[in-house]
Structure 1
Amino acid sequence: MDQLPVEIIKELKERFEGDIFHDRSSRLQYATDASAYREEPLLVTRPKHINDIRELVLFAQKNKLSIIPRTAGTSLAGQVVGKGIIADVSRYMTDILEVNREEMWVRVQPGVIMDELNMELEKHGLFFGPETSTSNRCMIGGMVGNNACGAHSLIYGSTRDHTLAVKAILSDGSEAEFSTVSTEDFEIKCSPDTLEGRLYNNIRSILSDPSNRESIRNEYPDPAIKRRNTGYSIDLLLDTAPFTEGRGDFNFSKLIAGSEGTLAFITEIKLNLIPLPPKEKVLVCMHCKSLEEAFHANLIALRYKPVAVELMDKMVLDLTKSNLTQKKNRFFIEGDPAAILIVEFARESRDEIDMLTNELEQAMREAGYGYHFPLISGDDI
């Protein structure tokens, strides 16, 4: 099927208050994201509120169609591209609902842009930590779906680490809120004969099975690997109080983060906030003679608790030589390095940063890594 029949679309329009587009030009606009993938959807919708999402879910279920939740479309792997119904929440579901300064959390709708959220939070001395390179346009719903993080994931972690609760519409049109529950409350959640109750009961059955537990612990990525962004993080649910003694409380929202909109349609998100970062920042741009040297040097750099570590290889460096815009940014480069290891420090005082950068350079030189260690700060960053 390349296009939905008009009579089916009319059926949805009678119950849907948001926008519905079925002309080809509109569908082509949503046929791709920031990736190279392309597939024309059957229908494009822009829900106005939760009831629109509920009606859309029921409509899709009745007609055996898929729904593709979408915000800014900044994904790089075709996550919001598909043959089904696009549900774009970036037009109407864009409210910051509540900021709690004392308890350091915020409730938002999925279409809130990250930079706009942090501009509002700055008034309270707070911010949402997991930044991305697309922060001026990416939206919180997409960040939860992708479990987004950025250059500063070393200290701020990923979106999953800061997701406290999620409200969502399930596949039967019912509404559920997933948040932290004690072991006692977890057992209560398993009881009702509702879709939400069956979800809790099902995960209890899966994670209580000894063979499943063994497989999860043996086959899932090492917990020490922080940046394993997407996928069903069922190992994190196993590592909670109902299944592992001495662990923290169970929270289904940890599974929703990174699930790319496949488990439920998010309508509201509650996020943990942190104090604004230190204003003093410096980059140590360590020049390396080989990529292997940079890899080993990274292990030393991590001992000094940087806020970020990034690598710029020779291919990127060479491209800047002939780029008129980037040529001026080569002012700190000496010679022809095979790679530059960029180590970022942020502290409350410049004296503290100077002490760290001196210790870092000394450790690198003693290990035989690096030949030039320029410091970049202020407007040059």
Structure 2
Amino acid sequence: MYATDASDYKEIPQAVVYPKHEADIRELVRFAGVNSITLIPRTAGTSLAGQVVGKGIVVDMSRHMTRILEINEKERWVKVEPGVILDELNIALRSTGLFFSPETSTSNRSMIGGMIGNNACGLHSLVHGTTRDHTLSVRAVLSDASVCEFGPLSSDEFNNLLDKEGLEGQIYREFNTMLSDPANQDEIVSGFPDPRVVRRNTGYALDELLDTPPYRGENAKYSDFNLCKLLAGSEGTLLFITEAKLNLVPQPPPFKALVPIHFNSVMDAIRGNLFAL
């Protein structure tokens, strides 16, 4: 089953592992780095494009890392591990009157880690936005097995991180060098899809990072710099998410609808009526 997903692709992995916690993932990253082996994060495997299919080690987050860690009803956010199923999360949130709004067609099995990796959209994304719009922060393991948190940063916090030692500081410095270059800015603006196109996932969302105060000042779309805008939709290629803090929105009001059902015969209609009763 790990040789494929919901796509038509097939590749036998070297191994499959089931991490129980963050420490396991850090050890896996160290092992993979020493042995030059690819790690493939996987949750439900519902994607149609083969993102979790490969020759490396498949890291299945769906077996053990499935906890809802914290619900903050007042501030409207929830903190979860990557293996939490979307429907189960929203069932747990039902009593609060809130829900995590990206409604995918595979909501009974799709998991938060994969939704972030794929920037899942869902039926009402034009109203509620995509997973990217509701990913507030993540805790993650980097390629050197260090752990850091990515979330909203004020201009001062962003500038302080530019001086930080280690891989985390290097990441911010390299993004800053890239996004500060006027030629790169022009290329990003002209090359990325129109911002009005909500349902899109065309590579790393550099345009989302560019539209922040460090580069657009008071004219920025966003009030802070947040690497989660780029991590959502990165297909698990940049880091291992171990926790995610998600924005919640009010549940829509209940409604009634009439659904006309067509049958091929009277007997089929009778059987259907008995089933409905």
TM-score (norm 2): 0.91
Measure how far apart 1:143 and its partner are.
0.3
Cα gap change, 1:65 to 1:276, in 2 (>3 Å): same
**Residues 227-275 of structure 1: CA deviation (Å, up to 9, x unaligned):** 0035210100000001111122000011110000001100000000011
For residues 25-48 of structure 1, the C-alpha deviation after alignment (integer angstroms, 9 at most, x for no partner) is xxxx20000111100001100001
* Residue 190 of structure 2 corresponds to residue 213 of structure 1: no
Which residue of structure 1 aligns with residue 81 of structure 2? 109
1:271 corresponds to: 246
* 8 Å Cα contact 1:147/1:230 also seen in 2: no
C-alpha distance 202-80 of structure 1, shift in aligned 2 (>3 A): same
Q: Spell out the pairing of 1:119-268 with structure 2 (5 A cutoff).
A: 119-229=91-201, 231-246=203-218, 247=220, 248-268=223-243
Q: Deviations over 1:249-308 (max 9, x none)?
A: 0000111100000011000000000111121255899xxxxxxxxxxxxxxxxxxxxxxx
Relative to 1, partners in 2 of residues 1:284 and 1:160: Cα closer, same or farther, differing over 3 Å? Answer: farther
Q: How much has 1:153 moved relative to structure 2?
A: 1.0
Matched AA of 2:10: R
Using CA pairs below 8 Å that are at least 6 residues apart, which structure has the higher relative contact order? 2
Conservation of the 8 A alpha-carbon contact between 1:146 and 1:230: no
Question: Which aligned segments of 4 or more residues in structure 1 are displaced greater than 3 angstroms?
Answer: 281-285
**What one-letter code is carried by the residue in structure 2 that aligns with 1:274?**
V
Aligned to 2:8: 36
Q: Is residue 83 of structure 1 aligned with residue 55 of structure 2?
A: yes
Q: Shift of the alpha carbon at 1:157?
A: 1.2
- Contact in 2 for aligned 1:230/1:259 (Cα 8 Å): no
Distance across 1 between alignment mates of 2:248 and 2:178: 32
- Alpha-carbon contact 1:148-1:229 (below 8 Å) kept: no
Identity %: 59
Which one of 39, 44, 63 corresponds to residue 35 of structure 2?
63
Using the size of structure 1 for normalisation, the TM-score is 0.67
Kindly provide the CA deviation profile for residues 302-336 of structure 1, in whole angstroms up to 9, marking residues without a partner as x.
xxxxxxxxxxxxxxxxxx999x9xx97xxxxxxxx
Query: What one-letter code is carried by the residue in structure 1 that aligns with 2:251?
Result: L
- Partners of 1:283 and 1:190 in 2: CA distance: 57
Partner amino acid, structure 2, of 1:150: G
Distance 1:155 1:282, change over 3 A: farther
Aligned counterparts of 2:108 and 2:250: Cα–Cα separation in 1: 20
Higher strand share: 1
How many equivalent residue pairs? 264
Change (3 A) 1:191 1:277: same
Whole-Å Cα distance in 1 between the matches of residues 248 and 13 of structure 2?
36
The separation in 1 between residues aligned to 2:259 and 2:123, in whole angstroms, is 15
CA distance in structure 2 between the partners assigned to 1:281 and 1:180 by the alignment: 39
CA distance in 1, matches of 2:164, 2:17: 33
Q: Runs of 5+ in structure 2 lacking a partner?
A: 270-275
Q: Contact (CA 8 Å) 1:183, 1:249: kept in 2 or not? A: yes
Computed over aligned residues only, the root mean square deviation of the Cα atoms, in angstroms, reads: 1.9
Output the CA distance in 2 between the equivalents of 1:231 and 1:217. Answer: 14
Tell me what 1:45 maps to. 17
